[in-house]
Amino acid sequence: MTEVFLASRAAAMPWLPRIHGDEDTRAWITHVVLPTSTAVWVAEDAGGEVLGFAVLAGGDELDQLYLRPDSLRRGIGSRLLAEVRGAVDGPIGLYVFRRNAAARAFYERHGFTAVAFDDGGRNEENEPDVFYRWTP
Output the pLDDT for position 98: 97
The predicted model scores a pTM of: 0.93
Strands (E), the chain: 39-44, 50-57, 61-67, 92-97, 113-118, 129-134
Count other Cβ atoms within 10 Å, centred on residue 6: 18
CA atoms of 53 and 43, how far apart (whole Å): 6
CA atoms of 67 and 49, how far apart (whole Å): 12
Query: Which segments of 70-118 does DSSP mark as H helices, in order?
Result: 76-87, 101-109
Phi, psi dihedrals of residue 89, rounded to the nearest 5°:
-100, 80
pLDDT (tens digit per residue) in 77-107 = 999 999 999 999 999 999 999 999 999 999 9
**Cβ neighbours for 114, distance < 8 A, ≥ 6 positions apart:** 104, 108, 130, 131, 132
pLDDT (tens digit per residue) in 33-85 = 999 999 999 999 999 999 999 999 999 999 999 999 999 999 999 999 999 99
Residue 64: strand, helix, or coil? strand
Output the pLDDT for position 55: 98
